[in-house]
A and B are shown apart, each in its own frame.
Chain A
Amino acid sequence: MVVASFADFMQQVVSGLAAGGVYASLALALVIIHRSTGVINFAQGEMATVCTYIAWTLTFNHGWSYWPAFAATILFAFVFGVATHRAVIRPVERGSVLRVVIVTIGLLIAINGFVVWQWSGEPQALESPFGTDTLDIGGVIVSAQDVGTIVVTLGIVVLLWLLFQFTKVGLALRAVAVNPDEARLVGVRVTWMLALGWGLAAVLGAVAGMLTAPSVGLDPQMMQPILIYAFAAAVLGGIDSPLGAVVGGLTLGVLLNLIEVYSEFVGTELKLSVALLIILGVLVVKPSGLFGRAEVKRV
């Protein structure tokens, strides 16, 4: 263990929260889809990668600045998510869960192939919207990129929460997640609500991708480790709990960053293994996660 000053420690916590915000966004995307469709979307990370490449194309090839490209990409992500549900998921939705899962794995491979074909495997640089400045908050030096990432990811999460909690569409989305048959009886168009859920999830993924790319570099495999962290975050929080996904993501971000920096043993190479250990540990000890409700089935 390296002995560290408090300021140094806090700096690592902030940087962990920034990573955690990204994990939380993608974990929330997984949770939204799992709650409504009952499956894990293995293509969630690749869908985010495509969106990030769109943002990169807009800034690099067309000279857009970051935020207009960010907004346009979010719009694209939403349409992409809705279209994916309508065209690819809906035809197999009535079958077994396994069928849908296999389709999402196929989607992962197809999208990855498309990205490499379209943009090559070469790493690209997406500019950071927050610059390379550092801020001094009471003696703790943090990067503007980290603070910006935390603010934007949490802002999007709060917006989504407001949507789910206080709007009619949000109520319908939750109703579909609880009981789709009942929702149909009160007149909710369930298949459109499911597509809307896929759209929102894709938006979350795109936000995660666009905030990650400036610090880790944009390449076709960029989101794959982040998807693993998002799985770990979602499992930790409880796969059906949106709040759990956010808390799980932030916790995991901080935890992994502290382990990486302060433990002489783990380092960057073993971070992924720690995430997998967390998944395994939670599934064995408390499968419903921190905030999930234990599933009770009557037999």
Chain B
Amino acid sequence: MTELLELENVHARYGPVQALHDVSLTVGEGEVVAVLGANGAGKTTTLRAISGTVSRGGLLQLGGSNLRGGPEAAARAGIAHVPEGRGTFVELTVDENLRLGAYTRRDRQVRHDIGRIAEYFPWMVDRGAQRAGTLSGGEQQMLALGRALMSRPRLLLLDEPSLGLAPLIVREFFRIVRELNENEGLTVLLVEQDARIALSISSRAYVLEVGRVALSGKSDELRDDESVRRSYLGY
């Protein structure tokens, strides 16, 4: 498998606070990789380091070229970051949110892609003119995912998509992510509190502890290792 994303000795800080000390990880083309860990372990910061929304150092490469600059540059390089807590423009309509997802694209396939995305989220067709802020939490999370797909990303970063959602909706969300991965070869780096569901959807996982990679391995092996489960994953 060729590596799409490569992080080596990445560190990041918020002002004087060092949030990531030394994180190295890889994501292969077409792979779903999970990042797990307790609150404050640096999961969100890892994603933010990749998309350039936090000041960072170390080696970060996407498809062999260095990631430089802020989030605008990351978006142009093909990274779609769905941040924690529903990344939608609440005052804009569903349709406008989707079109904004395609902002960096120059081709004329945007309309067509909205139709394609509607195959995964049929309700978006009829509710294109609805303001995103009036959607339910689950629908907003779906819209955030749909918007990310509109950029035809090389790499999708998902930050805690299950946060605050009912279990049924969480399952539906991850079913769609899995389908996208299987049907379209979408590469995903997933940050998740819910280790059980994250390990079930991913092929590999990294466990962070205070800004460092404490452990990594195949998802099914991590899941079956009781000592790992108890000491790191808490279930």
Which A residues are within 8 Å of any B CB, using their own CB?
A: 168, 171-172, 174-175, 178-179, 181-190
Contacts and interface: CB of A to CB of B under 8 A. Distances in A.
Contact of A186 (B53, B70, B90, B151): B151
A181 B75 CA distance: 13
A171 B100 contact: yes
Contacts of B90: 178-179
B71 interface: yes
Interface in B57-113: 70-72, 75-76, 81, 83, 87-92, 96, 99-101, 103-104
B104 to A, nearest CB: 4
Nearest to B87: A182
B92 A187 contact: no
B219 interface: no
A187 B75 contact: yes
A175 B101 contact: no
B162 interface: no
B54 to A, nearest CB: 12
B72 to A, nearest CB: 5
Contacts of A172: 100, 103
Question: Which 8 pairs between the two chains have the least Cβ-Cβ distance?
Answer: A187-B75, A187-B104, A184-B71, A178-B91, A178-B89, A186-B103, A185-B71, A187-B103
Contacts, number: 61
Contacts of A184: 53, 70-72, 75
A141 to B, nearest CB: 44
Contacts of A185: 51, 53, 71, 75, 81, 83, 87
Given A184-B71, A186-B75, A178 B92 contact: yes
Given A172-B103, A182-B89, A187 B81 contact: no
Contacts of B71: 184-185, 187
Contacts of B92: 171, 174-175, 178
Contacts of A168: 99, 103
A178 B90 CA distance: 8
10 contacts: A168-B103, A171-B99, A171-B100, A171-B103, A175-B100, A179-B89, A179-B90, A184-B75, A185-B75, A185-B87
Contacts of B51: 185
Contacts of B81: 185
A19 B166 CA distance: 55
A171 B147 contact: no
